[in-house]
């Protein structure tokens, strides 16, 4: 019992100390505060991790270069644990305790959707790092919401266009049973009739599944001319290995989630010949020097690699674009919520980012042109742009 | 058509072997303590990630890495038992199970710090093309996993039937109070069951990582599936868990193959529930034994 | 209902009523809202575990049914929200009864296993056939009562805690009635309860249904407050979390459910400063609390209080 | 009141009861005696449905009940106590008795949770009748004590009180005097007699204390190795050579 008493007090004091931490946070000389809500942990941490790294790196770079309008930039990052409830709480905290002028993120479509009513009510701009179309559409009801990632349909269009050129019209799709895979599945279905493609088989798997040969066997039996796998995380490597083992004789296409060298390492030989639509971030060294994105991509990727010994990937790029857009706005109009929002809508024209070249408008709060993707194949353990 | 069926079957075997190994670990602890150890999945993750660490980062030879990994996992099992289960000294099984959940959260946190969130993998035990049987392919590593599962069954059988410690553990499984009365050191039995079960989990992790990759948060899914395997075979029945694991793996694969892949988890669960309702002791458990159980 | 309970209830009402006046902005209130939602789930689970001695690992299933059925009915069929919430509770209780009838005829841990399976099946169904699939769906209407729409945080806070208080009173009444005594009797000795002619299967089914109603009400409140839901909020992790709240707070007293829910909801907020270390600190606090609080916080505090008073009536 | 016809019960090869027949007159106190392991408790469990017989019929108030659940049998007016006390230890003495009344009440969860008048009325009735029973068994002074804190003697009485609360026609008492001292046993005997004469409840008891049995019983049945070896009035049984043999061993026969 005495031990129990001691421990009780230990537990209590830990709680109490953490409470002190919370209240002792703020103070100092007026930095410009931008909030970020990212899935740093939880099932979507493959997004939140590079996004968080990117924001931390950019904050340091900007402050070393003198900050914004003479003030330091402070990016307050909150972990949403890949959970909508936590995202809502984080948003309230950032808006009220930290008085941020804008929020970057969240990482997933679901969490972004959960924040729409909150941001509209708080009249604070949100630049989401998630791709789902309903985040910014309809724009009339999403006045304060923007996003930087390409629509999934753009990636699908890139794949279908390339397929058509090579005479493929019947595809089998296999998607991960999460929001990411589901959004891909919807996009694949939506664009198919317009592009004259037929989806002959549609399969799914769980994010932690260890074997997908059953699904791939079914796709092949359905007479598909190609497989499209829409997923992120270990699943895409397992699919690649299974595809290789089965010697399916039809090409494997991956989503834009494929864009990390890590995947090639993990899949080894099996990755050879896998095709995917990737943002230019992973293939910047293969772009011509005149390309508007090249200089920016080169700097971002090499800085990130030097700092974190890993790649930022497409998703780190989303955070880059979201933050830089807000920073650009603050530079021009100052830290005022309404002015930032207006600038994001009208001022962002032909702005190069990692995801493409952005032009926002009152009708389009994403502002990416088609053609943000390059079709890239894995060859000799490296990326190669397909013409 | 047969080739396709065979391929589904092989896929089921691959997945099932993973579940079977996890299910076996559950039974070891359950048998001597009646605790359902919800951190069992983390032992498997430790197996995969530590193996990667020893063989890919420290660059130790394969066998040495494997042995170190299994020992390290056993040590984690020991720590867990000594610091959480033993001090608790409680008869409240629910509380014990909640503690294992809390420990699993803690372990996941630690693993995340050491290894980050990326998936890891290393080369399969034997390089080379997958085997082709009547047009269907099976990875060599799958055969390894099945072989290792079989070895574990044999070794555990020998341990439980031929050694004093093993017999003592079985005695505890039947009646802890009686075991105490005949002079068995129950506390040691519980400790060893945690070590053993962590080791079996780690062996599973080492074997399956080349197939399914391993990342810090794979534990809960493995635990749930392994738990289902153990339930299906009859909790406490070592071999039952293995057969239960393969049964669930094959069920999932056949559902994915002949119904729809989106339904595979649900169908497997529905069948598991149906079995439970009609044969409460699991496929291989005895009804009389199951009535004696507290949980 | 007992003097202790009445005093605690008055204190709770005062705290809830006063909170919006002592805080600025809606952050604290939002934490309060989620605490309240979790508390509802926990109260139901507490009654189930503490009085009937059954464990459920599938409360997330009922929580999800509550959220989805209510949202779908109000969006797709244009039903008034209040009505669709009631319908959602009806669906959840039907599901609970269907599950409990076979599961509770078996002894021991089968309800735990059956509910685990049930929760997972519901999650698969929401993923496959729920509107929006795994991505979920939004633009769910707020609750309107008598022409007043609960869109502000404060109004939601009051309403949700009104539900919690009502739920608390309801379950305290039950536990202090003949029904509650029967439940405690079953927990004490099943053999004797049967010999007294108590229909223990029926009682257990009813308690289980009751816990499902609490969870589904919480789910519906969640959906109509956040206005966006996706299946990931209703998975096994939530079931385990609910169990954690109850065990932490103490299963033998319904107040334990409320206290546990509030702690589990606030804890991650307090740990934000630890950034990524929060997972570790969180795990550590949970482990230590379970190891050293054992019976749970509320029963422990009551015991302490009773000892201070000199060992008079310890029971609230 | 109660009629047993050819009851047999085996536990994995061991015959615990074979072809036991027995009848209990309404309004009588009957006793079931026999050496340890004779199958007395097995027979009580068979009657009350807790461990139903393999063969034979149990007829209670003219109705065959051996296929019914223990709950259903209890609700037909058969109540019992246990050799190894099965009180609700974490509940008070009064609450234990109130549980006995619960099977007779109708109000459900809704009535209880919302404190509807129907529930409250039943609650009041239950309380007053339980207090009556408490006074009847003379445990009024322990009203709010935890059942597990009572001495054994009073726990036994409380079990009888709880069984009375269900409003039985027949009361089965399984070794009610086990662990009781002389004075307590005497009081118990008085209580059993009062229950029979004042409440008109039929009683069947299993007991080892021969003084008590002989003092209060109208009829006695003797079991040995699962078979009925004698039945009759206390005087008849005391003289029966088979009974003496069973109790004293073979050499006496």
Each residue's pLDDT tens digit, A289-305: 888 889 999 999 999 99
Judge if the upstream peptide bond of residue D55 is cis by omega within 30 degrees of 0. no
Which CATH code, of 3.30.70, 1.10.3470, 1.20.144, 3.40.50, is assigned to C3-315? 1.10.3470
Task: Quote the pLDDT of residue B128.
Answer: 82
- Of C214, C257, C272, C260, nearest in space to C27 by CA: C272
Residue C89 · residue C213 · CB < 8 Å: yes
Nearby residues of B79 by Cβ (< 8 Å), 6 or more positions away: none
Each residue's pLDDT tens digit, A92-145: 999 988 999 999 989 998 899 899 989 999 999 999 999 888 888 888 889 999
Each residue's pLDDT tens digit, B86-107: 888 777 777 888 889 899 989 9
The dihedral formed by the CA atoms of D233, D235, D241 and D245, expressed in degrees to the nearest 10:
90
Task: Quote the pLDDT of residue A310.
Answer: 86
Mean pLDDT by 10 residues, chain C (316 residues): 80 87 85 96 92 86 97 93 95 94 72 85 90 86 86 91 95 88 85 86 90 97 93 90 90 91 90 78 84 84 80 46
B21 assigned to some structural domain = yes
Q: Hey, which chains touch A, using 3+ CB pairs under 8 Å?
A: B, C
CB neighbours (10 Å) of residue B286?
A: 13
- Give contacts of A 267-296 with C, CB under 8 A: none
Residue C294: strand, helix, or coil? coil
**B221:A208 CB<8 A:** yes
| pLDDT more than 70, % of chain B | 94
- Residue D69 sits at φ, ψ, to 5 deg, of -75, 155
Q: Work out the pLDDT band at B198, boundaries 50, 70, 90.
A: very high
Each residue's pLDDT tens digit, B200-251: 999 999 999 999 899 998 998 898 888 888 888 877 777 788 888 999 999 9
Residue A205 · residue B206 · CB < 8 Å: no
CB neighbours (10 Å) of residue C149?
A: 12
Residue A198 · residue A168 · CB < 8 Å: no
- Of B179, B176, B171, B188, nearest in space to B82 by CA: B188
B291 touches chain C (CB under 8 A): yes
> What whole-number distance in Å separates Cα of residue B104 and Cα of residue B120?
20
User: A254 - beta bridge partners?
Assistant: A229
Burial class (CB in 10 A: 0-12, 13-18, 19+), D251: exposed
Residue A27 has pLDDT above 50, yes or no: no
| pLDDT more than 70, % of chain A | 92
Residue D11 · residue D53 · CB < 8 Å: no
Q: Work out the pLDDT band at B43, boundaries 50, 70, 90.
A: very high
> What whole-number distance in Å separates Cα of residue C23 and Cα of residue D165?
55
> What whole-number distance in Å separates Cα of residue D186 and Cα of residue C144?
70
Cβ-based contacts of C232 with chain A (< 8 Å) = 43, 82-84, 110, 178-179
Give how many domains chain D has, as a whole number: 1
Q: Which of A82, A83, A110 sits opposite C228 (nearest CB)?
A: A110
Question: B102-129 burial, b if ≥16 CB within 10 A, otherwise e?
Answer: bbbbbbbbbbbeebebbbbbbebbeeee
Cβ-based contacts of A92 with chain C (< 8 Å) = 25-27, 30-31
> What whole-number distance in Å separates Cα of residue B201 and Cα of residue B171?
23
Residue A272 or A179, more confident: A272
Query: Angle, nearest 10°, between helix axes D152-165 and D182-199?
Result: 10
B96 touches chain C (CB under 8 A): no
Task: Quote the pLDDT of residue D252.
Answer: 41
Task: Quote the pLDDT of residue B2.
Answer: 87
> What whole-number distance in Å separates Cα of residue B62 and Cα of residue C180?
61
Residue C203 · residue A83 · CB < 8 Å: no
Residue D180 · residue D188 · CB < 8 Å: yes
Q: Can you spell out the DSSP letters for B39-61?
A: THHHHHHHHHHHHHIIIIIS---
> What whole-number distance in Å separates Cα of residue D130 and Cα of residue D150?
18
**A247:B139 CB<8 A:** no
**B269:C117 CB<8 A:** yes
The dihedral formed by the CA atoms of B86, B88, B90 and B94, expressed in degrees to the nearest 10:
-110
Residue A22 has pLDDT above 50, yes or no: no
D25 touches chain C (CB under 8 A): no
Joined together, the tokens standing for residue D91 give 């509940």
**A41:C279 CB<8 A:** yes
> What whole-number distance in Å separates Cα of residue B246 and Cα of residue B19?
7
> What whole-number distance in Å separates Cα of residue A170 and Cα of residue A192?
10
Residue A373: strand, helix, or coil? strand
Residue B135 has pLDDT above 60, yes or no: yes
Q: Residue D38 sits in a domain of what CATH number?
A: 3.40.50.300
Residue D189 · residue D125 · CB < 8 Å: no
> What whole-number distance in Å separates Cα of residue A48 and Cα of residue A25?
23
> What whole-number distance in Å separates Cα of residue C57 and Cα of residue A225?
44
- Domain range for D177: 2-248
**D90:C206 CB<8 A:** no
| pLDDT more than 70, % of chain C | 96
Chain centroid to CA C95: 17
B164 assigned to some structural domain = yes
- Domain range for B256: 2-123+140-292
What is the C-alpha radius of gyration for chain A, rounded to an integer number of angstroms? 22
- Of A55, A115, A53, nearest in space to A83 by CA: A115
C117 touches chain B (CB under 8 A): yes
> What whole-number distance in Å separates Cα of residue B95 and Cα of residue B97?
5
D88 assigned to some structural domain = yes
* Mean residue pLDDT across chain A: 88
Residue A2 has pLDDT above 80, yes or no: no
Give how many domains chain B has, as a whole number: 1
Q: Hey, which chains touch D, using 3+ CB pairs under 8 Å?
A: C
What is the C-alpha radius of gyration for chain D, rounded to an integer number of angstroms? 19
∠ CA A325-A327-A330, nearest 5°, is: 110
Q: Can you spell out the DSSP letters for D1-43?
A: -EEEEEEEEEETTEEEEEEEEEEE-TT-EEEEE-STTSSHHHH
Cβ-based contacts of C280 with chain B (< 8 Å) = 106, 109-110, 113
Joined together, the tokens standing for residue B276 give 């439970």
Task: Quote the pLDDT of residue A378.
Answer: 94
Q: Work out the pLDDT band at A1, boundaries 50, 70, 90.
A: very low
Domains, chain A, ranges and CATH?
A: 28-149+293-368 (3.40.50.2300), 152-278 (3.40.50.2300)
- Of D161, D175, D172, D163, nearest in space to D83 by CA: D175
> What whole-number distance in Å separates Cα of residue A241 and Cα of residue A266?
9
Among chain D residues, CA nearest to C170: D113
∠ CA B128-B131-B136, nearest 5°, is: 140
Nearby residues of A126 by Cβ (< 8 Å), 6 or more positions away: A102, A103, A104, A105, A112, A115, A119, A144, A145, A146
Task: Quote the pLDDT of residue C175.
Answer: 87
Residue B111 has pLDDT above 80, yes or no: yes
Query: Angle, nearest 10°, between helix axes C254-270 and C278-293?
Result: 150
**C196:D75 CB<8 A:** no
Helix (H) or strand (E) segment spanning residue D203: strand D202-206
Q: How far is A240 from chain C, CA to nearest CA, in Å?
A: 23
- Give contacts of D 44-83 with C, CB under 8 A: 48, 50, 69-71, 74-75, 79-80, 82
Q: Strand locations in C96-192, DSSP E?
A: 144-145, 148-149
Nearby residues of A182 by Cβ (< 8 Å), 6 or more positions away: A175, C132, C133, C134, C135
- Give contacts of C 120-139 with A, CB under 8 A: 127, 132-136, 138
**C121:B270 CB<8 A:** yes
Each residue's pLDDT tens digit, A177-227: 888 898 899 999 999 999 999 999 999 999 889 899 999 999 999 999 999
C311 touches chain A (CB under 8 A): no
Each residue's pLDDT tens digit, C126-156: 988 888 888 888 889 999 888 788 888 899 9
Mean pLDDT for the stretch of residues A354-376: 85
D253 assigned to some structural domain = no
- Of A238, A254, A226, A378, nearest in space to B139 by CA: A238
- Of D165, D160, D109, D88, nearest in space to C178 by CA: D109
pTM: 0.88
Residue B20 · residue B245 · CB < 8 Å: yes
Task: Quote the pLDDT of residue A370.
Answer: 66
Q: Work out the pLDDT band at A281, boundaries 50, 70, 90.
A: confident
| pLDDT more than 90, % of chain B | 38
> What whole-number distance in Å separates Cα of residue B31 and Cα of residue B170?
7
Nearby residues of C263 by Cβ (< 8 Å), 6 or more positions away: C245, C248, C249, C297
| Cα-Cα-Cα-Cα dihedral sign, residues C223, C225, C229, C233 | negative
Let me know if chains D and A touch, i.e. at least 3 Cβ pairs under 8 angstroms: no
Task: Quote the pLDDT of residue C191.
Answer: 84
Residue C125: strand, helix, or coil? helix
Residue with tokens 């006045």: A143
Judge if the upstream peptide bond of residue D238 is cis by omega within 30 degrees of 0. no
Task: Quote the pLDDT of residue A271.
Answer: 93
> What whole-number distance in Å separates Cα of residue D38 and Cα of residue A327?
91
Q: What residue ranges do the domains of chain C occupy? A: 3-315
> What whole-number distance in Å separates Cα of residue A245 and Cα of residue B131?
9
B90 touches chain A (CB under 8 A): no
Q: Which of B105, B108, B224 sits opposite C236 (nearest CB)?
A: B224
Residue C117 · residue C249 · CB < 8 Å: no
B30 assigned to some structural domain = yes
Q: Work out the pLDDT band at B288, boundaries 50, 70, 90.
A: low
B131 assigned to some structural domain = no
Residue C111 · residue C104 · CB < 8 Å: yes
Q: Work out the pLDDT band at A261, boundaries 50, 70, 90.
A: confident
**B262:A221 CB<8 A:** no
Residue A127 · residue A326 · CB < 8 Å: yes
Nearby residues of C11 by Cβ (< 8 Å), 6 or more positions away: none
Q: Residue B198 sits in a domain of what CATH number?
A: 1.10.3470
Q: Where are the alpha helices (DSSP H) in chain A?
A: 2-23, 45-64, 84-96, 109-122, 152-165, 179-195, 213-221, 234-246, 261-267, 294-308, 313-333, 337-346
């Amino acid at each position: 019992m005495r031990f129990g008493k001691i421990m009780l007090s230990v537990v209590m004091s830990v709680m109490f100390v953490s409470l002190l931490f919370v209240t002792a946070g703020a103070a100092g000389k007026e930095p410009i505060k931008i909030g970020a809500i990212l899935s740093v942990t939880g099932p979507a941490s493959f997004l939140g991790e590079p996004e968080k790294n990117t924001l931390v790196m950019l904050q340091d770079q900007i402050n070393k270069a003198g900050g914004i309008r003479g003030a330091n930039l402070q990016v307050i990052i909150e972990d949403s644990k890949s959970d909508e409830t936590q995202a809502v709480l984080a948003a309230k905290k950032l808006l009220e305790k930290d008085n941020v002028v804008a929020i970057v993120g969240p990482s997933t479509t679901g969490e972004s959707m959960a924040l729409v009513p909150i941001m509209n009510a708080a009249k604070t701009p949100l630049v989401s790092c998630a791709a789902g179309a309903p985040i910014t559409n309809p724009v009339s009801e999403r006045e304060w919401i923007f996003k930087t990632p390409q629509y999934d349909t753009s990636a699908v269009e890139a794949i279908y266009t390339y397929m058509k050129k090579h005479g493929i019209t019947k595809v089998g799709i296999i998607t991960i049973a999460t929001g990411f895979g589901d959004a891909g599945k919807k996009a694949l279905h939506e664009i198919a009739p317009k592009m004259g493609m037929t989806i002959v088989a549609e399969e799914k798997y769980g994010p932690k599944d260890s074997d997908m040969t059953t699904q791939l066997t079914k796709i092949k039996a359905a007479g598909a001319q190609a497989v499209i796998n829409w997923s992120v995380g270990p699943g895409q490597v397992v699919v690649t290995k299974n595809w290789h083992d089965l010697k399916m004789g039809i090409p494997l296409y991956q989503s834009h989630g494929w864009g990390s060298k890590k995947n090639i390492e993990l899949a080894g030989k099996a990755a050879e010949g896998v095709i995917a639509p990737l943002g230019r971030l992973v293939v910047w060294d293969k772009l011509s020097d005149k390309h508007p994105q090249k200089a920016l991509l080169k700097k971002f990727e090499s800085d990130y690699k030097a700092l974190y010994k890993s790649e930022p990937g497409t998703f780190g790029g989303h955070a880059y674009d979201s933050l830089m857009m807000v920073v650009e706005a603050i530079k021009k109009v100052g830290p005022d919520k309404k002015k930032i929002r207006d600038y994001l809508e009208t001022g962002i024209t032909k702005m190069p980012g990692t995801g493409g070249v952005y032009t926002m408008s009152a009708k389009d709060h994403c502002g990416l042109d088609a053609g943000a993707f390059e079709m890239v194949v894995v060859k000799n353990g490296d990326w190669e742009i397909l013409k | 058509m047969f080739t396709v069926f065979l391929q589904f079957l092989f896929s089921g075997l691959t997945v099932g072997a993973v579940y079977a190994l996890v299910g076996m670990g559950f039974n070891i602890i359950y048998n001597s303590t009646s605790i359902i150890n919800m951190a069992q999945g983390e032992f498997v993750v430790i197996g995969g990630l530590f193996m990667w660490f020893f063989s890919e980062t420290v660059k130790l030879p394969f066998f040495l890495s494997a042995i170190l990994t299994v020992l390290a996992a056993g040590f984690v099992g020991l720590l867990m038992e000594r610091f959480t289960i033993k001090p608790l000294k409680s008869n409240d099984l629910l509380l014990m199970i909640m503690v294992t959940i809390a420990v699993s959260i803690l372990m996941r946190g630690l693993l995340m710090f050491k290894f980050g969130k990326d998936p890891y993998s290393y080369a399969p035990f034997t390089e080379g093309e997958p085997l082709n049987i009547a047009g269907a392919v099976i990875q060599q590593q799958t055969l390894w996993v099945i072989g290792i599962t079989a070895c574990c069954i044999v070794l555990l059988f020998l341990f439980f039937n031929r050694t004093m410690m093993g017999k003592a553990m079985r005695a505890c499984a039947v009646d802890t109070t009686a075991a105490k009365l005949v002079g068995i050191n129950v506390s040691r039995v519980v400790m060893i069951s945690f070590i053993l079960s962590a080791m079996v989990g780690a062996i599973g992790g080492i074997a399956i990582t080349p197939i399914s990759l391993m990342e810090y948060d794979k534990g809960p899914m493995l635990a749930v599936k392994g738990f289902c395997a153990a339930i299906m075979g009859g909790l406490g029945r070592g071999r039952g868990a293995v057969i239960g694991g393969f049964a669930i793996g094959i069920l999932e694969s056949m559902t994915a193959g002949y119904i729809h892949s989106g339904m595979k988890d649900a169908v497997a669960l529905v069948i598991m529930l149906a079995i439970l309702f009609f044969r409460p002791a699991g496929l291989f458990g005895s009804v009389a034994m199951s009535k004696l159980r507290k949980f | 209902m007992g003097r202790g309970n009445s005093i605690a209830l008055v204190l709770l009402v005062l705290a809830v009523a006063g909170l919006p006046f002592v805080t600025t902005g809606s952050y604290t209130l939002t934490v309060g809202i989620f605490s309240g939602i979790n508390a509802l789930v926990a109260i139901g689970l507490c009654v189930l575990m503490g009085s009937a001695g059954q464990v459920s690992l599938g409360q997330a299933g009922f929580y999800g049914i509550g959220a989805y059925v209510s949202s779908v009915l109000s969006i797709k069929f244009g039903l008034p929200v209040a009505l669709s919430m009631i319908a959602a509770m009806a669906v959840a209780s039907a599901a609970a009864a269907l599950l409990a009838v076979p599961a509770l005829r078996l002894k021991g841990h089968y309800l735990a296993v059956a509910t685990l399976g049930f929760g997972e099946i519901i999650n698969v169904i929401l993923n496959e056939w729920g509107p929006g699939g795994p991505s979920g769906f939004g633009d769910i209407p707020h609750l309107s009562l008598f022409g007043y729409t609960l869109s502000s945080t404060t109004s939601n806070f009051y309403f949700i805690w009104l539900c919690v208080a009502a739920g608390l009173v309801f379950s305290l009444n039950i536990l202090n009635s003949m029904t509650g005594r029967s439940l405690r009797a079953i927990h004490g000795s099943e053999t004797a309860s049967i010999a007294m002619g108590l229909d223990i299967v029926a009682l257990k089914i009813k308690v289980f249904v009751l816990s499902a109603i609490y969870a589904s009400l919480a789910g519906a409140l969640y959906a109509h407050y956040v206005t966006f839901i996706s299946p990931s909020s209703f998975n096994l992790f939530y079931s385990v979390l609910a169990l954690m709240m109850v065990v932490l707070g103490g299963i033998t007293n319904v107040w334990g459910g409320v206290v546990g829910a509030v702690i589990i909801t606030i804890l991650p907020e307090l740990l934000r400063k630890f950034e990524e270390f929060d997972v570790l600190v969180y795990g550590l606090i949970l482990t230590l609390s379970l190891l050293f609080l054992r019976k749970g916080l509320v029963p422990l505090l009551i015991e302490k209080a009773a000892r201070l008073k000199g060992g008079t009536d310890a029971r609230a | 009141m109660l009629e047993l016809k050819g009851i047999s019960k085996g536990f994995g090869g061991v015959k615990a009861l074979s072809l036991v027949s027995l009848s209990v007159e309404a309004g009588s106190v009957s006793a079931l005696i026999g050496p340890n392991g004779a199958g007395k408790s097995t027979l009580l469990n068979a009657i009350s449905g807790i461990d139903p017989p393999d063969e034979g019929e149990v007829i209670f108030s003219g109705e065959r009940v051996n296929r019914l659940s223990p709950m259903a049998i209890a609700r037909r007016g058969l109540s019992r106590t246990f050799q190894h006390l099965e009180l609700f230890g974490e509940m008070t003495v009064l609450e234990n008795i109130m549980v006995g009344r619960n099977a007779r009440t109708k109000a459900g969860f809704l009535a209880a949770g919302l404190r509807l008048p129907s529930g409250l009325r039943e609650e009041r009735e239950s309380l007053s009748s339980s207090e009556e029973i408490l006074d009847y068994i003379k445990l009024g002074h322990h009203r709010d004590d935890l059942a597990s804190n009572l001495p054994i003697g009073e726990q036994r009485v409380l079990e009888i009180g709880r069984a009375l609360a269900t409003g039985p026609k027949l009361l089965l008492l399984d070794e009610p005097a086990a662990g009781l001292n002389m004075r307590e046993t005497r009081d118990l005997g008085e209580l059993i007699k009062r229950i029979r004469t004042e409440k008109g409840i039929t009683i069947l008891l299993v007991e080892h204390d021969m003084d008590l049995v002989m003092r209060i019983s109208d009829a006695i049945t003797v079991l040995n190795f699962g078979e009925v070896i004698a039945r009759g009035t206390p005087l008849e049984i005391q003289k029966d050579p088979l009974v003496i043999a069973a109790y004293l061993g073979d050499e006496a026969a």
